[in-house]
């Protein structure tokens, strides 16, 4: 334990826990023996951290958050899996994040700069990218992959093994059953993809021309002729010099036989080989 760590006398820190410079542990927190708290981490109060869990430098954890406890999986047998949380994350009240499993990657990972509002859940073996924002009670089932700069609205829920690409936005109360392309937008009351996440694209500083390129690729991908494979190849050829479009192409090609979330009026392209 660092000599500069501040630990409230009501907190319980097990022998073996590693506390870096500037760590602050507030009243009634519990910190397990295999926990690593990097520089400047703050546990406000009543935070419980267990297992092989690392919380990145500068992160703040609010009351009643539960981090690194065994996953909610009947297949978990006590293996020493991990939870790794990045730098400068904000983890609000009642957030839960579990360690991984032997049936997954043995690790649950959360990227830098994440903002997790009240009651969010990150299940075992999930991977969450940098600067993700989860609104109240957004939940991930096991083995979900979430890209960078993704927004999940309140009360949204993502099915196990689903992938959500960089820059996507999932509206409140949405259920996500299939993969969502980078920059995709889902909204409650609109089955499938609503459109591209144009608000997010603007906030990231993409020019009008860049946004129009993405719009053209989106239309060709979901409304063009031929199979999804053929349309994806055509988009790759037409927009080969556009890194943003090519990130969508790579995402779709990486789907294999997985299903994609598609616009409601383009349901016939849900299967990778559909006509």
Reference 7, options 34, 33, 25; nearest CA is: 25
Q: Which of 32, 68, 86, 142 is catalytic?
A: 142
Distance in angstroms (rounded) separating the CA atoms of residues 85 and 226: 43
Beta bridge partners of 67: 49, 97
51 carries an active-site annotation: no
Distance in angstroms (rounded) separating the CA atoms of residues 244 and 78: 41
Distance in angstroms (rounded) separating the CA atoms of residues 98 and 78: 12
Q: Which of 112, 124, 153, 154 is catalytic?
A: 124
DSSP-derived pairing of the beta strands 190-196 and 184-187: antiparallel
Q: Where are the alpha helices (DSSP H) in 59-207?
A: 198-203
112 carries an active-site annotation: no
241 carries an active-site annotation: no
Three-state DSSP state, 62: coil
Beta bridge partners of 134: 116, 152
Q: Which of 125, 166, 179, 242 is catalytic?
A: 125
The residues annotated as belonging to the active site are: 124-125, 142
């Amino acid at each position: 334990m660092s000599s500069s760590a501040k630990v409230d006398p009501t907190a319980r820190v097990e022998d073996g826990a590693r506390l870096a410079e500037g760590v602050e542990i507030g009243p009634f927190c519990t910190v397990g023996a295999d926990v690593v708290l990097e520089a400047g981490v703050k546990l406000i109060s009543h935070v419980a951290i267990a297992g092989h869990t690392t919380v990145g430098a500068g992160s703040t954890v609010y009351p009643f958050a539960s981090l690194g406890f065994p996953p909610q999986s009947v297949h978990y047998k006590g293996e020493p899996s991990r939870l790794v949380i990045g730098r400068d994350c904000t983890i609000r009240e009642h957030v839960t994040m579990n360690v991984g499993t032997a049936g997954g990657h043995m690790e649950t990972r959360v990227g830098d700069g994440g903002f997790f509002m009240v009651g969010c859940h990150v299940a075992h073996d999930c991977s969450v990218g940098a600067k993700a924002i989860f609104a109240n009670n957004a939940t991930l089932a096991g083995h979900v992959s979430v890209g960078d700069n993704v927004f999940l609205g309140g009360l949204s829920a993502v099915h196990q093994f689903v992938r959500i690409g960089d820059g996507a936005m999932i509206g409140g109360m949405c259920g996500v059953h299939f993969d969502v392309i980078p920059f995709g937008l889902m909204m409650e009351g609109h089955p499938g993809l609503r459109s591209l996440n144009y608000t997010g694209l603007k906030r990231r500083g993409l020019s009008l021309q860049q946004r129009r390129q993405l719009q053209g690729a989106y239309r060709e991908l979901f409304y063009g002729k031929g199979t999804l494979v053929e349309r994806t190849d055509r988009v790759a050829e037409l927009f080969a010099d556009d890194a943003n479009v090519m990130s969508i192409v790579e995402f779709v090609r990486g789907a294999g036989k997985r299903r994609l979330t598609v616009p409601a009026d383009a349901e016939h392209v849900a299967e990778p080989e559909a006509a």
